[in-house]
A and B are shown apart, each in its own frame.
Chain A
């Protein structure tokens, strides 16, 4: 002990330290449920003799109390990186799954309202006309059922093109969110570096920066590298998006126009950073953006093309057979279906309005149902359509399984992160109790010292009085 008041000083340091410890516990408890909050731990350091021995100096004490050595933020960079990676993969799958499930609900198979049933009804109506080639009602029915079938295909086609339009807008909004997050992250890089050089605790800002990095990973599958000075570098599919305090800009430069319409070309994403720009390879893109690009460049166009192929096959076969027959006036039949060859499923419609023009007869001028019978057999696109639906259903089912697996994986990584960084109320209660008791004991020490000094000052030197 150095001097009479040394112990008072060390008791004071204990009071100060424990007040801080209580403060930290209080902050941890307050943020027990805060998303992205990493628990803090106050580090204590015992005060002892001089660190630098000086000539002739001698330290006679054994410790001078305690002080706050620093604030520890309980993170693990490796775990953070895993969380980002698994969340990027999960968002990728979830985005695809949501879109495809929505599309799937519009297919309506198997059931009484889908394209499949419309095809069956259409072919049945030709059979009915073959049975009764003179009947206007049967002719009208063929036209009606043909329109229903065209409409059923049309509906699915519209669902797909509508989804494509939505996803183009989705891509643009995701890209703009990426840019905001990248700018904020670069700014935080700079602020955190500055604050920590000054010795200020930047834990809260670090929490925010980690949240932004996670969001960027969810949006693009971005990966983060930590620089020696503590700043985060973010790269998307191998292309730098943020370097230190400089943020680049991600932009859609091909495939989608700024108003969300398609320009017909493939989708191209580019990052401009520091004057130059680089194309982001679609293969390395993950997260929400990666999923949307994949949907727009592959999944949705493939299904659309499948529908078009079914419609084209149907229309070609029916038209070909229809031209081989004769209408009720004995004139050779024309096209039954009209369509735009660039988008058959979207434009399919019955070309005939006058029932008399349905070419049911195989013999000119006779009341024959031969061609109607042949038309019922023509255009058997059921198999192509079933294959299309099966492929799509399998894809959705596989996606659901993968999403469930990835969700479980991400969940376990989240758990590991939470074990490291989460707040446990019991633990905080214990810390609180420890600090409180230490505070009380330090205060009691002061009283003790006070009494000791009182004895020394006021009750000594009274001998013989």
Chain B
């Protein structure tokens, strides 16, 4: 472009434009420094904005997965310790049965004592079967009541899975179905213990043997349920770790997308400042003189 004439208005306008431009650049850097963010509105970088929104959603999901999994761990911990107690109690009952089966060495008084002890164990197991986590019976399925078993040993829960979403599309069952561990009514561990105590009181050795068989099987049932719950515990625990790790990695990604690089921005501020001062200095020198100052 050839500049034919330069006029005072051109100089003024040009100086004003460059001073304004310098100020605008300063303002942009200042915004980035004060907010600490390079993405302050979608138009700053539409692609990165979308990416940042996606990452924020993903972080939200991972946070929630970690929360869900933590809650699941609570259920599984309660189930594990309860099933541990139940195993001990059933094993104790079987030991009592074995002692009671030794009919030659025991009189009725001793067998009655054994029967009483079995009844106490039975009550303990009823308590365990009604163990709760946050006021919900962990063996009661999705029951809206607060017990899984009534005192007679009948299942009063509602069969249904208590699930936790621990990862994208992954639901795990964090409860244990009471029917699978304790049974119900005539086929329950409670009925087995009732039969044992009755047999001990009546001296029915055949019934005691049957009870021993049943309790041995029951121990296996309880132990295998506990093992299964333990396996799920491990899986959920891993999920907590995975979700926490993913959240951390995603937060890093988000920071790369959204946050201003302090060093780079400070240098940019310095540059913008220099440019602004230069345009101010240039303005003051360009606008001042005219021929009037030199022709006397």
Contact = CB atoms under 8 A, between A and B. Distances in A.
B188 to A, nearest CB: 22
Interface stretch (B101-109, B136-144, B194-202): B136-144
A33 B292 contact: no
B84 interface: no
B9 A411 contact: no
A425 B43 contact: no
A423 B10 CA distance: 9
Contacts, number: 166
Dominant SS at the A interface? helix
A287 interface: no
Interface string B105-149: 000000000000000000000000000001110000111100000
B142 to A, nearest CB: 4
B216 interface: no
Interface stretch (B51-59, B229-237, B265-273, B274-282): B51-59
A382 B57 contact: yes
Contacts of B57: 116, 119-120, 382
Given A109-B53, A422-B10, A363 B60 contact: no
Contacts of B164: 130-131
Contacts of A107: 41-42
B64 A127 contact: yes
Chain A interface residue count: which class?
35 or more
A33 B47 contact: no
A410 to B, nearest CB: 12
A312 to B, nearest CB: 20
B43 A419 contact: no
A368 B42 contact: no
B60 A366 contact: no
B56 A110 contact: yes
A127 B1 contact: no
Contacts of B3: 415, 419
Contacts of B25: none
Given A123-B60, A367-B144, A425-B291, A419 B42 contact: no
Contacts of B5: 419-420, 422, 424, 427
Nearest to A135: B134
B290 A429 contact: yes
Interface residues of B, number: 53
A254 interface: no
A124 interface: yes
Instruction: Indicate the member of B43, B144, B163, B292 with the most A CB atoms within 10 Å.
Output: B43
Given A120-B56, A397-B43, A127 B49 contact: no
B136 A367 contact: yes
A389 B17 contact: no
Interface stretch (A268-276, A369-377, A457-465): A369-377
Given A116-B57, A124-B64, A393-B44, 7 more contacts: A117-B56, A132-B71, A366-B142, A390-B47, A393-B46, A394-B46, A423-B8
- Shortest Cβ-Cβ A-B pairs, 8 listed: A393-B42, A422-B7, A120-B60, A396-B43, A393-B46, A110-B52, A368-B142, A426-B291
Interface of A: 32-33, 101, 104-105, 107, 109-110, 116-117, 119-121, 123-124, 127-128, 130-132, 134, 328, 361, 363, 365-370, 373, 376, 382, 385-387, 389-390, 392-394, 396-397, 400, 411-412, 414-415, 418-420, 422-427, 429-430, 433
Interface of B: 1, 3-10, 12-13, 17, 39, 41-47, 49-50, 52-54, 56-57, 60-61, 63-64, 67-68, 71, 134-136, 141-144, 158, 160, 162-165, 171, 258, 290-292, 295
